[in-house]
Structure 1
């Protein structure tokens, strides 16, 4: 599998990549809106979304089709410049720090991850998970 282009999230004035895909839950809860589908191997979901966590509230601030085979009208999802992501309950994973391991398929393990626990669009809790270094093997290499 090709490494996928990640969504982006603004948090505390910084831009991070987001390993989670909360917009997928929106499409699952709105079956009347056809979900994106992409043709690019590096963005099979067909879009890249932008998010912001502000005052413990998660907002969808935009999305861009990415070689999408399905057209989704922006106004069907986003009525203004941002929308409360109250449909989303789950954990957001945000990689932080240097890469400590790169797998043979290109995926990277970062020094740590922020885990944000969201319930109906509201931050309930968060934690930082530190990843331990993984021993080098013949197929994978460690980045320095």
Structure 2
């Protein structure tokens, strides 16, 4: 995986998230025809013919966020869930897509949490919990399950979570009480 590696003159973000750092800009997600954001970023593959890493001199800084401490990975991806598959459909920053897109994200396996409803918790590390979410389980780019989650009555043990190094939202979710 190459997320966070690169030529930007900024520190890079490894897979550890510290709750003492600047909240990171989420990726964009197109879900059921609507654009939303997700609070984590699926990794990019080490080498893919449809993804090109740019030289520092070739990076367009149209989006100033990509060169801030809120985007240590140096890029923002746009993803889509369509017809039972998970695709990378756009990149801004230190990577760009060739004209072969959308790209099936067959390197990705995990759960995408699609926000629905009102934001009920936000942590400065970037963790967000919405009163309702759709959890979409993806395996090698293919949607294998999805379920609606109602967080309105769920209790989260935020003081216990704060101060821990969490690898991703999955760690956060598993460290909360159901």
TM-score calculated relative to the size of structure 1: 0.70
Matched, 1:46 2:74: yes
Distance in 2 between the 1:128 and 1:85 partners?
23
1:62 alignment partner, one of 90, 105, 108? 90
Q: CA deviation at 1:18?
A: 1.6
Gaps of 5+ in 2: 1-20, 55-65, 160-178
After superposition, where does 1:1-144 map in structure 2 within 5 Å? 1-22=21-42, 24-27=43-46, 30=47, 39-65=67-93, 71-72=94-95, 74-75=97-98, 79-103=99-123, 107-131=127-151, 132=154
Distance in 2 between the 1:3 and 1:15 partners?
20
Q: CA deviation at 1:87?
A: 1.3
Distance 1:102-1:120 versus aligned 2 partners, 3 A rule: closer
RMSD: 3.1
Q: CA deviation at 1:94?
A: 1.8
CA contact (8 A) 1:58 1:84 kept: yes
Q: CA deviation at 1:4?
A: 1.1
Q: CA deviation at 1:43?
A: 0.7
Q: CA deviation at 1:106?
A: 6.4
TM-score calculated relative to the size of structure 2: 0.58
Distance in 1 between the 2:123 and 2:96 partners?
37
Q: CA deviation at 1:107?
A: 4.4
